[in-house]
Amino acid sequence: MDKSSIADNFSRYAHLYDRYAAVQNQAAFELASSLKNNNFSKILELGCGTGNYTLILRQKFKDARIRALDISEEMISVAQNKLKNEDIEFMVADAERPIPDKDFDLITSNACFQWLNDLGKALRGYAKSLRRGGLACFSIFGPRTFCELDAALKSVLQESRPDSAYFCNRAGLKETLKDNFKSVKINEVCYKESFGSLKGLLEKIKYSGIRGNGLNRKVYFSRGLLARLEKAYLDKFQGIGATYQVFFCRGEKR
């Protein structure tokens, strides 16, 4: 993944993100609901975006110290404004950079880790920053995300595929988690959305930052190409829909 491209995509549309992030918000509530029977005192959130999951964490763990990081300065600015009275420490930082602190009870992230270049290395670092018995809990998009769009693109453009087709699968996640944590658990949820047109789906992808680097080759979406892609979509699926495969992962420090 090209981190600068991803940061630019999120930064450019930070002011529109909340309008298009319904699935990410669903995942945030699902992830937070899995954090039961814990009295966390020090929490690190990675890839906090505009602070929607951060706010849920604050409401759930009222006395915890929370540090929230994101690679996009514009996203952090939106989050700071939204949560200005919630006593959150916000920082602009790459989630794959070393974390100096070593005593977090919880390291968590919602819909961010699919953009990491080396998830295994990152998780090893997070494990070192957790106290003994601390938890790493995160949601991450899987490779079936936008599988309908992937099929339409392949039928029209052959080799072009969205970044999501290369996201980590469940087996890879399980192996990586087991290498770094004990009591590993992964749950899978598939969310569905429908759109009135292919343009509506592409706008959702664009403004919510899910596009990553985009396609694996640069494509100009002319009116004619959009019409061909929409026809291929409708021929295959009888509608313009999108699947979002999300894995909810949990690991306890050894």
Using one digit for the tens of pLDDT, what is the confidence trace for 77-96? 999 999 999 999 999 999 99
Q: Checking phi first, is residue 214 left (phi over 0); if not, alpha (psi -120 to 50) or beta?
A: left
Residue ranges of the chain with per-residue pLDDT less than 50? none
Task: Give the pLDDT score at 222.
Answer: 85
Domain region containing 12: 3-144+166-190+245-252
Q: Note whether residue 58 is domain-resident.
A: yes
pLDDT at 97: 92
> What distance in Å separates the CA atoms of residue 71 and residue 157, rounded to the nearest whole number?
32
Q: What is the pTM of this model?
A: 0.93
Query: Does a structural domain hold residue 112?
Result: yes
In total, how many domains does the chain have?
A: 1
**183 within domain boundaries:** yes
Residue 110: in which H helix or E strand, if any? Answer: strand 104-110
Q: In the prediction, which pLDDT does 227 show?
A: 94
CATH of the domain at 24: 3.40.50.150
- Domain membership of residue 239 (yes or no) is no
Decide if 214 is inside a domain.
no
- 159 belongs to a structural domain: no
The vertex-211 CA angle with 209 and 217, nearest 5°, equals 150
Chain-centroid distance, C-alpha 47: 8
In a domain, 119, yes or no: yes
pLDDT for position 242: 96
* Half-sphere exposure in the Cβ direction for 130 (13 Å, CA): 25
Does 227 reside within a domain?
no
